[in-house]
Amino acid sequence: MLGIVKQKMLEQSLKKIRPAVSVLRSYSSAAKQMTVREALNSALDEEMSADSKVFLMGEEVGEYQGAYKITKGLLDKYGPERVLDTPITEAGFTGIAVGAAYYGVKPVVEFMTFNFSMQAIDHIINSAAKTNYMSSGQISVPIVFRGPNGAAAGVGAQHSQCYAAWYASCPGLKVLAPYSSEDARGLLKAAIRDPDPVVFLENELLYGESFPVSDEVHDSSFCLPIGKAKIERKGKDVTIAAYSKMVGYALKAAETLEKDGIDAEVINLRSIRPLDRSMINASVRKTNRLVTVEEAFPQHGESFAYLDAPVERIAGADVPMPYAANLERMAVPQVEDIVRAAKRTCYRSVS
């Protein structure tokens, strides 16, 4: 029932915002077209066909064929043992899925919205993300958490938050945010095949958007590497880095800037964790300017205009906290770390 109401609300909202969303199309209409919804559905279908260990679970993924029809047709094809409708209890079915992944099967968990993943965050962070490290690599957790993330249309504060920064700050997780149909298809396949937990952040307003795709993308073996960004538009004056729906906005902005003689390079991050730092840095070394675009809340990143030296960053190690006392000390900042960093900013040390 909830899915039916939500689907009607979505359809009404999309009619209002369709002109704004349509500007996201930045490809030739002559190519073969595929919607993001079709890309996700075909990726799930092919991976389930190729590997009997893959199964789906979540609210309304079966009989209703998904709140956004991403799982359409999969219950009829694979049956209720591999497409599981769950009660409205994210903490419950996410815990079951993580436990199943411990035993070697490959759950794909759908959240109707990633805002609801807050009900299950203990299982995602403390169970899925940390177990491989805490078991010294003896236990893999091949699980995908997927669903719409960020702002939709008229659904309010509790259903519109972007969780990219939340999950990207947690060691042990991989965090992906597709923009186009190629991204959605290739990255979801990579996520399902990956031995580690992957948070797969989709965008509700992109599901119905069509993008051109090559024959290579249609091939069942197609897969994109995790951790690699894509230059959507080459430029020399300024780098614009974005992910998910904001990539389309960045491309539209680049078209506007071109009229003013500004040649913008647009990077589609695709992967938030791991981040393709080498591509970003290479672009910024070329343009010497950087604009970052995301739906998440702004925080930090002040005072850059007044600096005489690069920022030094002192933080905990990018691993789950070790138990051994000597490793624990190495994993958190120490006084000597701060001293060395301060000396580097004053050009008094190179170590």
Which are the contacts of 39, defined by CB distance < 8 A and separation ≥ 6? 181, 182, 184, 185, 188, 213
Q: What is the DSSP string of 181-221?
A: HHHHHHHHHHHHH-SS-EEEEE-GGGTT-EEEE-HHHHSTT
User: What three-state secondary structure class fits 30?
Assistant: coil
Tell me which residue of 47, 50, 71 sits closest to 146, measured CA to CA.
71
Residues in the chain: 351
By CB neighbour count within 10 A (0-12 exposed, 13-18 middle, 19+ buried), where does 171 fall? middle
- Contacts of 150 by beta carbon, 8 Å cutoff, 6+ apart: 114, 160, 161, 162, 164, 201, 203, 204, 244, 245, 295, 296
- Token pair, residue 123, equals 């299982």
Residues carrying an active site annotation: 90, 159
Phi, psi of 201 (to 5 degrees): -95, 105
